[in-house]
A = this chain, B = another copy of it.
Amino acid sequence: MRTITIKPAAITHNLAQVKKLAPKSKVLAMVKANAYGHGVAAVLPALQNGEQQADGIGIATLMEALEARQLGWHKTIGLIEGAFTKDEWQLAIQHDISCVIHHEPQLIWALENTPPATSATRVVWLKYNTGMNRLGFNDQTLIPAAKRLHEAGYQLILTTHFANADDQNHPLNTIQIQRFNDMLHILRETISSDIKGSLCNSAGIVNFPEHHHDWVRPGIMLYGSTPVIDKSAHDLDLQPAMEFSAQIIALQTVNAGDGIGYGSRWTAAQNTKTALVSIGYGDGYPRVIDNNAYVLVIDAKNYQRYPCAVIGRVAMDMIVIDVSAVPESAALNSKVILWGDAPHVDEVAAHAGTISYELLCRLSARPNRKMAES
């Protein structure tokens, strides 16, 4: 059975790791893109289940925000690209959603439609472009925008986004941190000492402990993947929150010289025992992977685990694996782990030339979804 198993306990654990790293900061837990593919409904309870709780959640679209409210999330919701239209700004007010303001039109909607004093929409995340060059006000436009919002009664959180925080030594980090800290200092001096700051995503939380400010915004690390290039999830004591699995549905022996699958991309060097696994890119397993990609076959009788290479092209509905090392008795119907504790999704992503974030987000609706018994 094609199955995605979510482990809420892992998310609660990973949140505790964030709090250990950033004990003085509030946590805006990123649950955009359906909680990085884990399912918002599964993740929200896990963010309120431990001794350490998230103070808010971050999402990318108003639809996602409304869904979270429907699911009973009463704390802060940060809409990280802000309202896309004036109508969305009005809806944000109705549902107490706190918006990023990153360009002039959003500033005008906010100034022309001020929410009630008690509304959470009175808190705005003012985006400063420090070097990502996607969103945000620049050095010239930010201070006037901050002044006007403050005068209209808004509480401000200055925010920005790192471009290269995964690589601690990238020279742009120092520049972005300096710009952010300088601007926050200016705003506090010239507008209000109450202005808050939010600089760090997961990578910043790990790499820049001196610069956590008032709010940190962990995303990928909550789900158990590493946010940095020089430390693994294991190094950071993060637990993967998703297991993606399937099963062996047929066995075969291919002869030396036979090609397997589309493009006859893999040729057997010797007679080889292969197994067909009921998973493919139609489920979200990546189509293009290198020759070192592997899965784990679990023997149901004794929980023995066998790493097995994925051979040939990944197809829409199936993959072929090399089961030469798996006992015949264990093979048919065995559970196959595509990612989970091992292989870690970070490893699979490396074999697919991408990052775990993409694999987690681009799962299709076909696999069954369930919660782990913990």
By a beta-carbon cutoff of 8 Å, the part of chain A in contact with chain B is 2, 32-34, 36-37, 60-61, 63-64, 80-81, 84-85, 102-103, 105, 129, 131-135, 163-164, 172, 247, 249-252, 254, 258-264, 274, 276, 278, 280-284, 287-288, 312, 315-318, 320, 332-333, 353-355, 357-358, 361-366
Contact = CB atoms under 8 A, between A and B. Distances in A.
Q: How many copies does the complex hold?
A: 2
Contact of A357 (B163, B274, B316): B316
A179 B352 CA distance: 35
A252 B316 CA distance: 39
Contact of A362 (B33, B284, B318): B284
B365 A259 contact: no
A34 B134 contact: no
A259 B362 contact: no
Contacts of A247: 84
A89 to B, nearest CB: 13
A249 B84 contact: yes
Contact of A282 (B60, B258, B276, B354): B60
Given A281-B362, A316-B357, 7 more contacts: A32-B316, A81-B278, A133-B261, A163-B261, A164-B263, A363-B364, A365-B365
A332 B32 contact: no
A259 B316 contact: no
A199 B355 CA distance: 38
A366 B333 CA distance: 33
A261 B131 contact: no
A84 B332 CA distance: 10
Residue in A103, A134, A263 with the greatest tally of chain B CB atoms within 10 Å: A134
Nearest to A249: B84
28 contacts: A34-B364, A37-B364, A60-B282, A61-B366, A64-B366, A80-B317, A81-B276, A81-B278, A103-B251, A129-B252, A132-B260, A133-B252, A133-B254, A133-B274, A134-B252, A134-B312, A134-B315, A135-B250, A163-B261, A164-B262, A164-B263, A164-B264, A281-B358, A281-B362, A282-B361, A287-B354, A316-B357, A361-B364
A195 to B, nearest CB: 23
A309 B152 CA distance: 39
Contact of A134 (B318, B358, B363): B318
Given A81-B249, A135-B250, A281 B361 contact: yes
Contacts of A32: 282, 316-317
A201 to B, nearest CB: 11
Contacts of A364: 33-34, 37, 361-364
Given A259-B133, A282-B361, A34 B366 contact: yes
A131 B249 CA distance: 19
A132 B261 contact: yes
A84 B2 CA distance: 12
A264 B84 contact: no
B250 A103 contact: yes
A284 B360 CA distance: 11
A335 to B, nearest CB: 13
Nearest to A320: B134
A105 to B, nearest CB: 7
Nearest to A274: B133
Contacts of A133: 252, 254, 258-261, 274, 312, 320
A102 B252 CA distance: 11
A58 to B, nearest CB: 10
A318 to B, nearest CB: 7
